[in-house]
Structure 1
Amino acid sequence: MIFKTLTLNNFRVFNGETTIELTPRKQGVFERPIILFGGLNGAGKTSILTAIRLALLGRRALGTVITKKDYQAYLNEQTNNAATKEDPNAEATIQLSFTHTHQGEHKLYKITRTWQAESEEKLTLTVNGVVDEALTNDQVQAFLHELVPPGIGDLFFFDGEKIAELAEDDTGTYLKEAVQKLLGIDIINRLNTDLDIYLKGLGAEAADKDTRKKIQAAEDEKRTITHDVEATRVKIDELGSILTDIKSKIANKEAEIQSQGGAWAETKEQEQAKINDLYELEKELTSKIRHELSGTLPMALAPNAMQGLIDRLSEDQKIKQAKAFGSELNQALPALQDKITANFDEQSSDIMATINSYFGQLTAEYGMASPELDISDSEFALIQAQFKEGQQSQRLLKELSTALEQVQDKLSSLSINIERAPDAADLKELYESLRALEKERDTVSKEYINELLKAKTLKTKELELAKRLEKFYAKLKNNHSADKAVHRVQQSQYVLDDFKTALTELRVTQLEELFVTAYRKLARKEDLKLSAKIDPQSFDVNLVDAQGALINRKSMSAGEKQIFAFAILEALGKLSGKVLPVVVDTPLGRLDSKHRDKLIKHYFPEASEQVILLSTDTEVDQDFYNAIEHQVSHAFEIEFNQATSCSTLREGYFWAELAKEAV
């Protein structure tokens, strides 16, 4: 399959009709598979992906569980706003033409989806220029699902969110669903179910009247309950949609309140109380600072001069002490001499000479000096104490000043917050509407939970009836086990189970090989020795290092997980056997430069014969563009007009005009 053209009319950001040429061009004999779309966020890149998915998959593009009503509402939301303002009943159209070989014939197909606000979607199929008017919408969609099964479409048409979802899926759920669809296991399961129904029918035909009556009553009751379960499920989906809408309105209302200063208004009283406390603290700190300033603080303002003064006074004290000691010594020496003469008659003169020499040296240093500042000992002690207190006061003053500065900063910030806060009366209406929405949310939420409980009860009863019927049919089947038809059906079911097991194991092995090939191609050099092991029951993919140890995927970086997801998608796509275009929207956001380089060079150019890449200028930047330019068929830049809120296309990619000679 190759996409030829995509025509959008009043679709999302594209007002009026826009036709996009998608056929890959060649340069000589060389294929150029990449069609590159560039656009800033919000310009309309996702509109291209959405249009392609919607054209081919229809309602299933939105998921497996969506009501017809929700689908119609979704389509109406996709109609361009400018078009609906001009004409409330404006028509929107998606038209995708593509070539495809079907049943051995190469044909040109054109799918057209058209819708309006008050009418259902119209779906037409044109084959080689001829509209097949005999087909209904459902028949056309069934044909498209044959070409692109919904589960397969997700492997070829995806965006960054799908990559992230697959990368973070530690349960293997997504992979299991994809593999089952690829292998056709769902068809085998359905065939098994149909064979069970056939067996039940055989048994019922041979049962006695009373047993048939009981079976019929149980089947009728089960059918009624199944209908109630489905109706409840629809009601749950509707309530879920309503609940989501209410939550969105609540979020918008909260955002509106925030934009008008609601956050400040909610805390205004608290902020005012904080300000009052801070004013008291400021007053207390100011008082303490004044107290320190009026005390001994000035003594510490000239520390060098004060230390010099104390040193001088200390020297004066030593001089005074030496003189006092000398005076007292002179008074005591005569008595000492008499004592020594009396006790040491012959040696008294030598002893006195030694004593005079010793004390003479002690008093000689300060004996001739005089104190410069003659103050008392108590006055000197007072000066020392005041200097020390001044130093302590200086440290305390610094701490108090820092605390006061912090308090004043907080006061300034709180004052600004209070000024921002509007009066409560200004927000009254907004808060009232928010409370009303919250009340509505609670009511709907309660109803939603009740419906869930109801569905659970009904489902339990349905399962009980199913078990009861199973016992009836098992008994009947045993009674007719000799019947050839029963025997053949049972043998067929055994064969189907064996076939499913063998097919699963074979395909899982193939998938492992394809995944490893893809992963090694995209991973960094240090990861090339990794292999993979896929559990055939859970379908969880485990990376295995060179020593055979499992690698915890949770420990991988976001970029490594995305490469992991790309490798899974490529492997699944190849396993499907489908040859489809690949459409990727903004896939590089969480990747580092090395991983981006691998994708740019080894994934996109080789992913398919046609690769439609939707990127911002920061994803495929000038360096990456230069690396794949030889693979780019042509490019478009999506330009968004702020005035009209609509987008237009021009050929080229931001800074680059592609060569026009490529055909």
Structure 2
Amino acid sequence: MIITQLEINNFGPFKGRHTFLIKPATNKQPVVIVMGHNGAGKTTFLEAIQLGLYGAFSWGLKNMSPRYQSIIKQKCNRKAYNENPECEFSVAVSFTWRNGRSIDQCKLERSWWINLEGKLYESTVVIRNGTQLEEKDAFEFQEKIRSFLPPSLTEFFLFDGERIDYILRNADFSSILKDGAINMFGLDLATRLKKDLLTAFNKNQFRNTLSKDEAQLFDINKSIEEKQELYNQYITQISKYELQKEEMTTQRELLFGEFKLHGGLLADEQRELEQQIKELELSRSRANESIKAAVAETLPFKMMYPLLNKALARIEEEKRARDKERAYETVIQQGDIILSKWNQEVGNDHVEANSQFFNFLISQLKNDKKINYIFDLSEAEFRKIQYIFELTQSISSEEYARWFKEIDRCTSMIQTIRKRLETSVKENSLEETWSAIQGIDSSLIETQSMLKEVQESANILLAEITQLNTEKEKVVQRINEVQKDESVINLADKISSMMEEYQHQSLEKQVVHLGEEIKLHFTKMLQKRDYIRSVIIDSNSFDLTLIGKDGDTIPSHLLSAGERQLLLLAIIKSFLSVSGRELPLVLDTLMGRLDLKHREAIINRFLMNADLQTIVLATDSEFSRNEIDRLNNVVSKVYHISYNEDSGVTEVKSEEETNV
């Protein structure tokens, strides 16, 4: 298999579609280097290949499970999502794959989009030799990929240098090594035959030939097989969580010991100071809101107060004049009615007096001079202007000064308290320590919760398996009493046992060769020819043991970080040389943990001798210009990826573009 192209679209820090042409230029130039600073997208590059090939199996999850959907949603590029919440994001891996005597050109593309309700949709397209495969054929093709290069082997062939300690200390490392050996040496054929036998048994025409007990035994065996497989997955998860828990607990103890040794603010005192900050921030916020409200409602009027005062006086004058006009018009229109009512109420003796008073009222209401209305406001508009004027009067300049003084006071006190908190932490070099402890505590709670959940599920499953095995013994006994050795199920069990024995004997031979190759490649890169006498792999447990020159066992945890990395690279190299398989290597942070001596070993004895496709993902500080030039004969392409702070997206350039 050779990966020829990787396409990343709106995935992780990559906004838009980016294409990496990573097919080796020649067999003598199998190395491609992708360089960039931390956070630019190197790990995303690795994830994109893994996700493109395996989908949900990359994380050991079921397709479209809640956990898988949660992970995928986080991979959508934030900037692209903000521009279009329903944007498509995808990864596509193109590769060549030997199929018998021919070589197929293949492409696996996985696309996702999130609708406005937050639901995730996924589409998988498989193209082989230019033809898109139907759903059934696409499913079978992906099954072949997982059979050819199982996801469990990605620890080796999609290599993350930051995870070396985890891989070697993982309680499941021996199982990974065993699965790798079985697959790489073609011994998974026995396992596949066993599954095929189970599939054949599952067909209705076969089941119809079985007796009642045989059919029951078949169902029990099938159920045990399924539950055992799930149980093994649980055990693997438990081992992973327990190791994570152990590592986090150890790290927390070290950090907490450092914290206690150097001291720092007491928790109660720190909480009290933090509470004071909250109260001061609340007071400052209130003053700010008061200023904002006052500015929004009254400041323009406050600045133009004399003009507002004159305007209001004019408005009031217009209002009085308008009121008189309306009263005058009303009196004129209703004059006869008004006089009639007065005369009725006071009697006919006062008619003349009423008439004189009425004329006097008219003369008083009549405006002697005509007024030119400027504002001519309604009653509601007048009330609003009056309210603004009164509000403007109520907030004095001294009130503004008091608010600003309160903000200054709160800000000054907050800075003083924060400085006290920060100074205490910085003086004792505990700022990062305390932050790390809190992060570990959060991760520990989550890990413990997941561990408990998996342990409970495993215990339930184990009880079910035990019960099924008890039932199986009873059924087998009944069958043997009737049919002796003629039972088809018994024959199948014998065939299965024979295949397992064949697999075991073949493994015994191959692991000896594998151990010799690991020793050879490891000592070459170490440049300590007498340091390791032999590498022994137990054919049953697949525990790997290093034997020193004096015959003593060398525990892997006593190796330096650089030596552990060289050991893993030696295992990878040995798998490929013993099996004769041609697989691509994707190596992330290959040089990040190495000293000068081990860097030279990687360059001179690993990369310079690379004979299969090797994609190296490195920070911009891992390789010097001189080192890249030294690798010129084996490197076919160099890509530079960088995160643009201004645009907020990752940019990709090949070395040719960079040098233009």
If the TM-score is normalised by the length of the shorter chain, which range does it land in?
Answer: 0.5 to 0.7
Q: Deviations 1:549-581 (Å, cap 9, x if unpaired)?
A: 332333222221211111112212334432122
Residue deviations 1:595-632 (CA, integer Å, cap 9, x gap): 11111122123344321111113222234323312221
SS of alignment partner, residue 525 of structure 1: coil
Which residue does 1:45 correspond to in 2? 42
Distance, in Å, in 1 between the alignment partners of 2:219 and 2:496 is 25
Per the alignment, residue 56 of structure 2 pairs with 59
- 2:18 is aligned to 18
Distance in 2 (CA, whole Å) between partners of 1:580 and 1:128 is 20
- Sort the Cα spacing of 1:442 and 1:592 in 2 relative to 1 into closer, same or farther, 3 A: closer
> Structure 1 CA distance, aligned partners of 2:506 and 2:72?
40
Provide the C-alpha distance between the structure 1 equivalents of 2:614 and 2:218, rounded to a whole number of angstroms: 57
Q: 1:544 aligns with which of 543, 547, 564?
A: 547
Change (3 A) 1:167 1:619: farther
- Tell me how far apart the structure 2 counterparts of residues 14 and 102 of structure 1 sit (CA, whole Å): 33
For 1:42, what is the secondary structure of its paired residue?
coil
* Structure 1 residues 605 and 48: CA distance shift in structure 2, 3 A: farther
Change (3 A) 1:653 1:166: farther
Cα offset for 1:48?
1.4
* 2:493 paired with 1:496: no
Task: Assess if the C-alpha contact under 8 Å between 2:34 and 2:617 holds in 1.
Answer: yes
Match of residue 142 from structure 2: 141
Q: How does 1:376-455 map to 2 (within 5 A)?
A: 417=420, 449=452, 452-453=455-456
% identity of equivalent residues: 25
Question: Match of 2:110?
Answer: 113
In the TM superposition, residue 507 of structure 1 has moved relative to its aligned partner by 1.2
**Structure 1 222/543 Cα, relative in aligned 2: closer, same or farther at 3 Å?**
closer
1:388-420 CA-partner distances (Å, limit 9, x unpaired): xxxxxxxxxxxxxxxxxxxxxxxxx99963697
- What SS does structure 1 have at the residue aligned with 2:587? strand
Partner of 2:101: 104
Q: CA deviation at 1:116?
A: 0.7
SS of the residue 1:165 aligns to = helix
Q: Is the 8 A contact 1:271 1:418 kept in 2?
A: no
Q: Pick closer, same or farther for the CA change 1:527–1:83 going to 2, 3 Å.
A: farther
Report the 3-state secondary structure (helix = DSSP H, G, I; strand = E; otherwise coil) of the residue aligned with 2:571: helix
- Residue type matched to 1:549 in 2? D
Aligned with residue 70 of structure 1, among 59, 64, 67: 67
Q: Is the 8 A contact 2:153 2:176 kept in 1?
A: no
The SS at the match of 1:620 is: coil
Deviation at 1:88, TM superposition (A): 0.7
> What is the CA–CA distance in structure 2 between the aligned matches of 1:169 and 1:100, rounded to whole Å?
31
Q: Which residue of 2 aligns with 1:567?
A: 570
Residues 449 and 614 of structure 1: is their aligned pair in 2 closer, same or farther, counting only changes over 3 Å? closer
SS at match of 1:619: coil
Question: What secondary structure does 1:111 align onto?
Answer: strand
Alignment check: 8 A CA contact 2:6 2:92 kept: yes
- Cα 1:143–1:167, aligned 2, differ >3 Å: closer, same or farther? closer
- Provide the C-alpha distance between the structure 1 equivalents of 2:649 and 2:611, rounded to a whole number of angstroms: 31
Task: Give the aligned partner of residue 398 of structure 1.
Answer: none
- The CA distance in 2 between the partners of 1:514 and 1:447, in whole Å, is 39
Partners of 1:448 and 1:487 lie apart in 2 by 39
Q: 1:470 aligned to 2:467?
A: no
Whether the aligned pair in 2 keeps the contact of 1:520 and 1:530 (CA below 8 Å) is: no
1:115 Cα offset (Å): 1.0
Distance 1:547 1:53, change over 3 A: same
Distance 1:133 1:196 in 2: 26
**Could you say which residue in structure 2 is the equivalent of 1:647?**
650
* Higher mean C-alpha displacement, 556-565 vs 606-615: 606-615
Distance verdict in 2 for CA 1:64–1:173, change over 3 Å: farther
Q: Tell me the secondary structure at the aligned position of residue 60 of structure 1.
A: helix
8 Å contact kept, 2:198–2:222: no
Deviations 1:342-395 (CA, angstroms, capped at 9, x unpaired): xxxxxxxxxxxxxxxxxxxxxxxxxxxxxxxxxxxxxxxxxxxxxxxxxxxxxx
Q: For structure 1, which runs of at least 5 residues remain unmatched after alignment? A: 252-262, 273-412, 422-434
- 2:602 is aligned to 599
Aligned partners of 1:97 and 1:111 also within 8 Å: yes
Secondary structure at the aligned position of 1:514 is classed as helix
Contact 1:43 1:647 in 2 (8 A): yes
Aligned-CA RMSD value: 4.7
Compared CA separation, residues 109 and 445, structure 1 to 2 (3 A) = closer
What is the rounded CA distance, in whole Å, between the counterparts of 2:566 and 2:465 in structure 1? Answer: 44
AA partner of residue 89 (structure 1):
E
1:151/1:181 contact within 8 Å kept: no
Larger Rg: 1
Amino acid at match of 1:144: I
Counterpart for residue 560 of structure 2: 557
Cα-to-partner distance string for 1:97-139 (whole Å, 9 max, x where unaligned): 2222212222322222111123432111222322224546533
* Partners of 2:122 and 2:417 in 1: CA distance: 57
Q: Equivalent residue for 1:363?
A: none
Q: Find the counterpart in structure 2 of residue 6 from structure 1.
A: 6
Q: Structure 1 562/512 Cα, relative in aligned 2: closer, same or farther at 3 Å?
A: same
Counterparts in 2 of 1:566 and 1:79: CA distance versus 1, 3 Å: same
Of the structure 1 ranges 454-463 and 191-200, higher mean CA displacement relative to structure 2 is found in: 191-200
CA distance, structure 2, for counterparts of residue 167 and residue 566 of structure 1? 12
**Alignment equivalent of 1:624, drawn from 614, 621, 627:** 627
One-letter code of the match for 1:60? F
* Contact 2:545–2:554, Cα closer than 8 Å, also in 1: yes
Instruction: Say whether the 8 Å CA contact 1:155–1:569 is kept in structure 2.
Output: yes
From the superposition, tell whether residues 270 and 573 of structure 1 become closer, same or farther in structure 2 (CA, over 3 Å): same
TM-aligned CA distance change 1:604 to 1:475, over 3 Å: farther
**Residue in structure 2 matched with residue 176 of structure 1 by the alignment:** 178
Contact 2:97 2:103 in 1 (8 A): yes
TM-score by length of 2: 0.61
What count of residue pairs does the alignment treat as equivalent? 474
TM-score with structure 1 length normalisation? 0.61
